[in-house]
Amino acid sequence: MRYNFIGKNIEVGEKTKEKIEAKLARVQKFFPEETVATVTLSSEKLGTNIEVTIPYHKRMIRAEVSDADMMAAVDGAVDILENQVVRYKKRLRTKVRQSAEAYRAEYESLHIAEEDLDEEPLYKIERIKHFEVKPMDAEEAVMEMELIGHSFFVFRDAETENINVVYKRKNGSYGLIDPE
């Protein structure tokens, strides 16, 4: 695996790169050698933020962790990445078992032993909710979302008639998902 290091408000030295590469060796074994991982380090008021992004077969495997200690943040990101890769391989195994041959090559290219994949289902939907999707604008949808105390809200755009989603972002602002 090759690494691309990016520093935001921080200088990434050679020793730091070597330490991070050593920690990322835990997930490196899952991917082909030509895989390129992008590691972004940024310094903030309360510590360090690390983001690791690994493109893999038209998908992105990504982890973002903030911690006062940079190496603790790297350890957290590696744990997240390892969990995501194992879950992804389980999902692919399910597809292959359902005779979806298009996923077989991708499934076999992930170097995870079968005994490391348990038989527990990946996701369990515990509740299904039905509701009326009302036509409104994005501002009205944000107001409705705040009234019910959720972090997202599904609505029909009054102008385009498309189904949209507004959501509350980590920094307190709002986002809009408008499908094409």
Position with higher pLDDT, 28 vs 99: 28
Distances (CA, A) of 164 to 77, 127, 143: 31, 21, 15
Give the per-residue pLDDT at 150: 87
Give 2-116's CATH code, choosing from 3.40.50.150, 1.10.10.60, 2.60.120.200, 3.30.160.100.
3.30.160.100
Using CA atoms of 130, 136, 139, 141 in order, give the dihedral in degrees to the nearest 10.
-10
Q: Please say whether the beta carbons of 111 and 59 come within 8 A.
A: no
Using CA atoms of 113, 115, 116, 121 in order, give the dihedral in degrees to the nearest 10.
120
> What's the token pair of residue 165?
């989603």
Q: Please say whether the beta carbons of 16 and 3 come within 8 A.
A: no
Question: Is the pLDDT reported for residue 165 higher than 90?
Answer: yes
pTM for this one?
A: 0.58
What is the DSSP code (8-state) at residue 125? -
Q: Please say whether the beta carbons of 92 and 58 come within 8 A.
A: no
Give the per-residue pLDDT at 171: 86
Determine the Cα–Cα distance for residues 65 and 50; give it in Å rounded to an integer.
5
Tally Cβ neighbours within 10 Å of residue 168. Answer: 16
Which sequence spans correspond to the domains of the chain?
2-116, 135-177
Band of pLDDT at residue 164, cut at 50, 70 and 90: very high
Query: pLDDT digits over 78-112, tens only?
Result: 999 888 888 877 777 766 666 656 566 666 666 66
Give the per-residue pLDDT at 117: 61
Compute the average pLDDT of residues 39-64. Answer: 86
Query: pLDDT digits over 124-159, tens only?
Result: 777 888 888 889 999 999 988 888 788 999 999 999
What is the CATH architecture of 135-177? 2-Layer Sandwich (3.30)
Question: Is the pLDDT reported for residue 114 higher than 80?
Answer: no
Least confidently predicted of 38-52, 67-81, 108-122? 108-122
Question: Is the pLDDT reported for residue 116 higher than 70?
Answer: no
Residues 6+ apart with CB under 8 A from 114: none
Q: What percent of the chain has pLDDT over 90?
A: 24
Band of pLDDT at residue 50, cut at 50, 70 and 90: very high
